[in-house]
Amino acid sequence: MSETLTVVSSHKSFGGWLKRYRHKSSTLGCDMTFAIYLPPKTARGEQVPALYWLSGLSCTDENFSQKAGAQRLAAELGIALVIPDTSPRGKDVPGDPDGAWDFGHGAGFYLNATREPWSRHYRMHDYVVHELPALVEKTFPVNGKRGISGHSMGGHGALVCALRNPGRYLSVSAFAPISNPMNCPWGEKAFSRYLGPDRATWREWDACALIAGATEKLPLLVDQGDADDFLASQLLPEALERAAAAAGHPLTLRRQPGYDHGYYFVSSFIDDHLRHHAQALLG
């Protein structure tokens, strides 16, 4: 892990600061950009917990920081927001061979690839769970208490990161997650390339499969718009609902009438999610 950070931008927001940095990731073998929102408490020398936000297909860190409207309440609560990119990038990082938007650059799926040429760079799980928090907690005034959330592919990532790493996070939530990726077109495309054809190995990266053996039962908060164009074919929240019920895993799945898949939806309910995380991170 490189600890040399280059400032990309810095903006004051609700008394705190939203800063973007670039650094060399040893996990991903390329330069990475991430954003962090530091609430006003940190300027007074106080340490705060951090909520990690994972964005969706084709996004960067800027989608959330510019569109979700999370800084206002994060400033009030005293929670840092850490927002990584969605995949490794650069001329030496392979993307989709056909130039498609749902694989490769912008579509790392928050897993550790095992197949060449992807395994050389696509290890977003280890980056999000280990390398980036270690860098953040050494560099910034955060106290090591972590929550994780995300949208769409990032919602899948948030669920999987929490389920695979008991004790690492105190809270988890998701907006319109790809709940059962091994059984939807986006997930099947990504998993077959990143992990190979053996579907048994896919289960390690599927929230519905992981819930069955979860040793920690963090309550899951999930919001899903019922006017989401991807609801029936890609997101499959009913599969998550069945898996949680079978395992006795606490799940609050809220179906929101009229909402689609975009950031108007996320921004409408982001405060609920921040308060959900604050109960665990600040309690």
Token representation of residue 246: 């079978």
| Catalytic residue annotation | 152, 228, 261
Token representation of residue 67: 């569109």
Measured distance CA(97)–CA(243) in Å, rounded: 34
Q: Find where tokens 């090591």 sit.
A: 144
Residues 6+ apart with CB under 8 A from 19: 7, 9, 10, 11, 35, 36, 37, 38
Give the CA radius of gyration of the chain: 17
Cα diameter, the chain: 52
Measured distance CA(203)–CA(118) in Å, rounded: 19
